[in-house]
Amino acid sequence: MSAVIELRSAAPRHFLDLKDFSGAELRALLDSAAQFKRTRRSGKKPLAGRTLALIFEKPSTRTRVSFEVAMRELGGDVITLSSRDMQLGRGESISDTANVLSRYVDAIMLRTGAAAKLHELAKHASVPIINGLTELSHPCQIMADILTFEEHRGPIGGQAIAWLGDGNNVATSFIEAAARFGFSLRLGCPEAHGPSRDALAWAKAQGADVTVTTDPRAAVAGARGVVTDTWLSMADSPDDAAERFAALGPYQVTPQLMALAAPDAVFLHCLPAHRGEEVAAAVIDGPASVVFDEAENRLHAQKAILAWCLG
C-alpha cells in the first residue's frame, strides 16, 4: 500500500500532446516502443497489478484494441467504458469523474470530441491521463507513424514528409512532431480546410520546417513519406460532405501524385480509409503502402506510453 500512496502523491505523468515533450523525451519513447516490439513474446509483465480505464466518447477500432492488448500484454488489466455506461454521460462533472476513477484505476485513456474535457480530466485526476484522440490532436497515432516510417526508411530527422487533404487533428499532431523530431513537413490543403493556425504559429515559434501550400504536387515533390486521412472526420457534419469532397478532390493521393514523391516514398494513413476518396486503391493497396505496419505499431507505441506514464 505504501508504494501506491507514494506513486499517487507524485504529479501524474500525462500524455496529452506531443508539444508537451522535448524531442529527446519523445525519442526515448520511440526507442522504448521499438524495444517492446522486439521483445513482444518475452513474457515480461512490467505493469502487473495495474489497471487502465479506457473511456470512449467516439467510436474506435484500432485505439480500443491496441490499448487493450497493450495493457494486457504488459501484465495489467483493462476496463473499457463508453459515455452511455457512465454517469459522465448523464451530467456528472468531469472533476468528480476524475476524482472517483483515480481511486479505482492507475491510468485513464480518453477518446473524445472535446479537447477541453481531456484537459479538465487531467487537471483533476491524480493518475496519468492519455489522449486517445480529440478534435484537436491525435498524438498516439503520430508516435506509431514515426515508428513505422523509421522502420522502413531510417531516422526521420531531416526527411521531407507530405500531408495531403484536410488539415485536421492528425495534421496538427504531425505539425508538433515536425518541431520535435526535426523533419520537414509540407501540408497540401485547400484554403477552406487548412491546418490549425495556432499549431502553425507554435511551430514557427519553435523554428520548425513546416510549410502550407494549396498545390498538392508541390507538397509531395521529393517527399519520403506521403500521409493522408479521411476527408470527413468524426467531428465533421455529414451535411458538409458534398462541399468537403469537392474542395478536397484534387488532394486525393493517386499513383500520379505518388510518382512525384521520392522513388522509395512510403504511404501512411491512420485508417479507416475510404478508397476512391482521400486515396486511390492502387496506392493504399500498392507496394508503397505501410498502413498495416502503421496500425500494428499503435500497439507498440502505446506500450511505451503506458510504461512511461506508469513509471
Q: Is 27 a catalytic residue?
A: no
**Active-site residue, from 14, 17, 141, 166:** 141
pLDDT attached to residue 251 = 98
C-alpha cell at 47: 505493469
pLDDT attached to residue 10 = 81
pLDDT attached to residue 7 = 44
Q: What strand order describes the sheet that includes 184-188? A: 210-213, 184-188, 160-164, 225-228, 266-269
pLDDT attached to residue 1 = 41
Q: Is 159 a catalytic residue?
A: no
Task: Give residue 311's Cα distance to chain centre.
Answer: 21
pLDDT attached to residue 240 = 85
C-alpha torsion 277→279→280→281, nearest 10: -100
pLDDT attached to residue 239 = 80
More confident residue, 191 or 85: 191
**Active-site residue, from 138, 180, 186, 269:** 138
**How high is the mean pLDDT of the chain?**
94
Task: Give residue 87's Cα distance to chain centre.
Answer: 27
**Active-site residue, from 244, 270, 300, 302:** 270
Give strand pairing partners of 226: 162, 267
Q: Is 111 a catalytic residue?
A: yes
Site of grid cell 492488448: 69
In the structure, what pLDDT confidence band is assigned to residue 266 with cuts at 50, 70 and 90?
very high
Across the range 18-30, mean pLDDT stands at 98
* Gyration radius of the chain over CA positions: 19
Q: DSSP of 218-284, one letter per residue?
A: HHHTT-SEEEE--SS-TTS-GGGHHHHHHHHGGG-B-HHHHTTS-TT-EEEE-S---BTTTB-HHHH
**Active-site residue, from 50, 193, 298, 300:** 298
Site of grid cell 484500432: 62
Strand-strand pairing, 160-164 and 184-188: parallel
pLDDT attached to residue 238 = 80
Give strand pairing partners of 133: 111
pLDDT attached to residue 234 = 65
- Mean pLDDT lowest for which of 36-40, 116-120, 140-144, 239-243? 239-243
Instruction: Quote the percentage of the chain above a pLDDT of 70.
Output: 95
Q: Is 141 a catalytic residue?
A: yes
- pLDDT of residue 3 exceeding 50, the answer is no
C-alpha cell at 87: 454517469
What is the per-residue pLDDT across 185-237, written as a single tens digit (0 to 9) for each? 999 999 999 999 999 999 999 999 999 999 999 999 999 999 999 998 766 77
> Cβ-count burial of 70 within 10 angstroms (0-12 exposed, 13-18 middle, 19+ buried)?
buried
> Cβ-count burial of 75 within 10 angstroms (0-12 exposed, 13-18 middle, 19+ buried)?
middle
- pLDDT of residue 87 exceeding 90, the answer is no
Across the range 35-63, mean pLDDT stands at 95
pLDDT attached to residue 290 = 98
| CB-CB contact of 136 with 16 (8 Å) | no
- pLDDT of residue 18 exceeding 80, the answer is yes
pLDDT attached to residue 89 = 61
- pLDDT of residue 6 exceeding 50, the answer is no
